[in-house]
Amino acid sequence: MDKFKDTIITDAGRKLLINVGAGNGEIAYTRAVLAGQDVSSMADEDIRKLATLENQKMEVNVIVTPPQDNTITVSASFGNKDLTDDLTFSSVGWYAKNNNDNKEILLGVSPSNGEQTLAAGSPDHRSTASIDIDLAMAISNAAKVDLTVNEIGVAHMSDVNAAILKLKAEYDPKIEQAGKVKGAKINDGAVVEPDDDGILDLIVDSDRIKDFPADLKDLNDLPSGTYRTSQSAASFVNYPKMQDGTTPFNIPIVWKNALIKVVKDANAGYQLIVSSQQKYAIRYFSNNHWGYWFQLPTLSNNDIIKLIDSKVDGLNIGNYATKTDLTSVSNSAVKKVNGLTPDGSGNVNVTSTVARGFDANANATTKMTEENLHGGNQILMDQNAGQDIVNWTKGQLNGKLSNSGGDMAEHSTINWNGAGAVESHDGNIGGLTWSGATDNVRLFADNDANDNLDLVIQLGDDNSNAVVIRNSTGAQVARVDASGNISSPTINDLQRQINDLKEDNVNKQKQINDLINNVTYIKDNYVEGRRFPASQEAQAQAWENEKPTRLAMIEK
């Protein structure tokens, strides 16, 4: 069972996170506190209103790690080093501040699952037990975090104890059998035999004083290690040539039979040379090349031991040609911090950003989510800070169709609006498109002339497709192809009627032609008679003479 319940962010903590998330200041995590106040029976809303925890029994500085996988972790380890009596507690408080106002507030509370006890330490004031707890926050580019490393190299006591047990299990049997060892060597070094007490006096090769490699011509090529310079050392390329600076003679420094320490990897390093005249020179490796030699002031034995025995991983030294004391140099020779290399002044930029995390699928009541990260420790995400955003997003999405389709409310419409002016020829102002392997079908509104908006069904590709109407059984009952040909029972019946009418018209036209021919024949061959009074005999004779088929009759 977990020792702690989910951590609850206070109202003041939520406000701090919102301000920092908006870019107002930087957040600094200050301390963690073991408290006797039991909050397990309090409602979450009441816990959020707390400004401090009562009966505070122990506080420690927290360790803030740079972001990894978009998460920044705040760690606290409560050890029993100085406890003379058992300490009982029921909650853990996390404190932080905004560097804008430097006002510390209670950021969050971790309720304990029942009262817990941190047992008293040993009489020699060494930690034999600890309570370790982590607080993790999701990060983004919204806010800055002021990382103040309060303790360098601090490890949780539980991790230390586990490491000790692992080492004891591995080495206790070996120590027990050490007297039976006949000899040992490190890498390719000489075999060393144990003394009468079974003790092996082993020297790591990298710390053994060695002669220069026989083929060495340039000090730039000298591998890491400790060397005794040769009688002809001054003939090597890039050998330091300096004078002791005394007056009036300014005697050259003799580096023969001196000691030189080399520490170097692909990115950084240094060479330190110590002469029998108690003169010292150093140079640094950076940006893929060695710098100039410069002379150091006289060092104490302590200073030399510290500098030569140091094992520096990723040493980064700036331009210290003007330094006049070893302290300023050694303070600048720092290790990497979480993979970040120091700049030329020895500073490590561990500024990071933090944002409020939230989960749209979180518990509706607690608005919290748990994830098993960092070895099973519970990770807190502040769901309250983003709940309003979640609610707003759900409101915006309510009623919208998903990619898989869905239903729309009754009387709903989908609208596309063109430019609006009568003379605006917008063309396609919106519609639907379906695409197959080759063919496609488009349904859209087309504004292609003044005060004109057409509904267009456009059939794409090779004009093999058509607009088809099917009945309830799926059978085709009508079809309009891409060339405009229409096929349907009604159209087909109408076509038959048209064909019948055409045929009937042909027959009727034939009859009419016959009648016309008959009338023409009659007109050409009938005898036309006309009566004239006796007084018009001359006119009758003239009329009759106009055509041979005329017959004039004169009344007497």
pLDDT tens-digit profile of 226-284? 888 766 666 778 888 776 666 555 666 766 668 889 998 888 999 898 877 777 889 99
* 519 in a structural domain: no
- Is residue 354 predicted with pLDDT exceeding 50? no
- For the cut 70, the answer to whether the pLDDT of residue 544 exceeds it is yes
Neighbours of 119 (CB within 10 A): 11
- Decide if 141 is inside a domain: yes
Residues 313 and 360 in one domain: no
pTM (2 decimals)? 0.31
Give the gyration radius of the chain's Cα atoms. Answer: 52
- Residue-wise pLDDT for 478-491, tens only, equals 888 888 888 888 88
Residue 364's domain comprises: 8-149+352-384
Note whether residue 516 is domain-resident.
Answer: no
**Range with top average pLDDT, 206-220, 274-288, 380-394, 469-483:** 469-483
pLDDT at 315 over 50: no
Closest CA to 35 of 91, 81, 88, 99: 91
User: Quick one: 223 and 293 in the same domain?
Assistant: yes
212: its two tokens = 């220069």
Please count the other Cβ atoms lying within 10 Å of the Cβ belonging to residue 489.
Answer: 9
Give the pLDDT confidence score for residue 330 in this predicted structure.
45
- Give domain status of residue 135, yes or no: yes
- Would 172 be classed as within a structural domain? no
Burial-class residue 387 by CB neighbours within 10 Å (0-12, 13-18, 19+).
Answer: middle
Cβ-count burial of 471 within 10 angstroms (0-12 exposed, 13-18 middle, 19+ buried)? Answer: exposed
**What span, in angstroms and rounded, lies between the C-alpha atoms of 322 and 297?**
11
**252 lies in the same domain as 365:** no
Alpha carbons 34 and 94: distance in angstroms, whole number: 9
Of 471, 487, 503, which residue is a domain's last?
A: 487
Tokens of 535: 């007084």
Residue 129 and residue 33 share a domain: yes
Residue 352 confidence class, pLDDT cut points 50, 70, 90: very low
Instruction: Output the 3-class SS for 9-69.
Output: ECHHHHHHHHHHHCCCCEEEEEEEEEECCCCCCCCHHHHHCCCCCCCEEEEEECEECCCEC
The reported pLDDT for the residue numbered 314 is 41
How many beta carbons lie within 10 A of that of residue 360, not counting itself?
Answer: 13
Asked if residue 137 and residue 56 are part of one domain, the reply reads: yes
Q: What angle do CA 53, 55, 58 make, to 5 degrees?
A: 90
Would you call the peptide bond into 548 cis, given omega within 30 degrees of 0 as the criterion? no
**Residue 132 lies inside a defined structural domain of this protein:** yes
210 and 294 co-located in one domain: yes
Summarize the chain as % helix, strand, coil (round to 5): 25, 30, 45
Strands 56-61, 26-35: parallel, antiparallel or unpaired by DSSP? antiparallel
Domain count of the chain?
A: 3
User: Is the model more confident about 181 or about 215?
Assistant: 215
**Does 33 have pLDDT greater than 90?**
yes
pLDDT in tens, 422-461: 777 778 888 889 888 888 898 988 887 777 788 889 888 7
Q: Is residue 28 part of a domain?
A: yes
User: Residue 540 domain-assigned?
Assistant: no
Same domain assignment for residues 214 and 127 = no
| pLDDT above 90 coverage of the chain, percent | 10
Least confident window among 104-108, 398-402, 495-499, 551-555: 398-402
On whether both 144 and 14 belong to a single domain, the answer is yes
Shared domain for 122 and 12, answered yes or no, is yes
The torsion angles phi and psi of 13, rounded to 5 degrees, stand at -65, -40
- Kindly state the tokens that stand for 345: 């002044």
378, two tokens: 């519970």
* Claim to verify: residue 23 and residue 141 sit in the same structural domain: yes
Residues 108 and 237 in one domain: no
CA angle 96, 145, 10 (to 5 degrees): 35
Give the CB-side neighbour count of residue 515, counting CA atoms within 13 A: 6
Asked whether residue 246 falls in the same domain as residue 317, the answer is yes
356-366: pLDDT as tens digits: 444 545 555 55
In this structure, the strands spanning 209-211 and 144-145 are unpaired
Phi, psi torsion values for 504, nearest 5 degrees: -65, -40
Q: Is the pLDDT of residue 501 over 90?
A: no
The end-to-end CA distance of the chain, in Å, is: 151
CA dist., res. 468 & res. 41, Å (int): 70
Please give the pLDDT value at position 83: 80
